[in-house]
Amino acid sequence: MKKAYGYLRVSGLGQVDGDGFTRQLDAIRAYADKAGYEIVEVFRELGISGTADENERPAFAEMVGAILRDGIDTIIIESLDRLAREYRIQEHLLVYLCSKGIRLLSARTEEDVTAAIVADPMKKALVQVQGVFSELEKSLLVKKLRLARERVRATKGKCEGRKAYGETEEEQAVIRHIRALRRARKGLKRRSLQTIAGMLNAEGLTTKTGTQWTATQVKRALEYRAPSK
């Protein structure tokens, strides 16, 4: 079965407790079942305006990162207005996705929205141009980080990478909590990673970067092992 991510967005914080997410997810899952897709993870954008670009959408950015890392290249949304309401922002985000080889499917219209972008010669040119600049930006960033690490090594003799979740006592307490939630309960199956992520978010707990938990992040927390002393 093909795999895809689900993307949900509500623009007002008041909609978070309403049926906005439920309605969107039901439509996405119904289309996924019909089209032969497995939804492996759902990313929820909480209280983000439809006029925000990719830099102002933490769940969107996390989802794109997961796609580039895990090789799943398809996103399913309820409808195009869940991506963005303004045509200008829609087009910008679609060109951005196309430049990274990511497909966007609409559950409502059952359309491959990104394919329509690539089919338009002018928009395809925009995709190609953005792809070139994305690659250039990545190359410059890699070079910048490498030079920064070399400077640190030259002055300190070592260069630490990004710290894993679990390197503070507070984070270790959260990991113990996650493991307790994950354990099989008498007569019941173990909670899924997505269920645990939802429980952590409901408790107001956040990840190291202050964002909401996802199934992938819960999995990484469970895999963390404190270094031996």
- pLDDT reported for residue 3: 94
Cα separation, 11 vs 109, in Å, equals 22
- Phi/psi region, residue 43 (left: phi>0; alpha: psi -120 to 50; beta: rest), is beta
CATH code of domain 2-119: 3.40.50.1390
User: What are the two backbone dihedrals, phi and then psi, of residue 133, each rounded to the nearest 5 degrees?
Assistant: -70, -30
Cα separation, 80 vs 85, in Å, equals 8
Distance of CA 110 to the CA centre of its chain: 22
Stretch among 84-93, 149-158, 172-181, 218-227 having the lowest mean pLDDT: 149-158
Stretch among 25-34, 130-139, 200-209, 215-224 having the lowest mean pLDDT: 130-139
**Cα pseudo-dihedral 192, 198, 199, 203, rounded to 10:** 160
Cα separation, 49 vs 82, in Å, equals 10
Q: How many CB atoms lie within 10 A of CB 71?
A: 8
H/E stretch holding 13: none
- pLDDT reported for residue 191: 83
Structure tokens at 11: 């623009």
Sign of the torsion formed by the C-alpha atoms of 133, 139, 142 and 144: negative
Cα separation, 63 vs 69, in Å, equals 10
pTM: 0.54
The DSSP code for 14 is G
Rounded to an integer, the average pLDDT of 15-41 is 84
End-to-end CA distance of the chain: 45
Has residue 13 got a pLDDT over 60? no
Structure tokens at 66: 């997961």
Model pLDDT for residues 94-113, shown as the tens digit of each residue: 888 888 889 999 999 898 88
Model pLDDT for residues 190-205, shown as the tens digit of each residue: 888 888 888 888 777 8
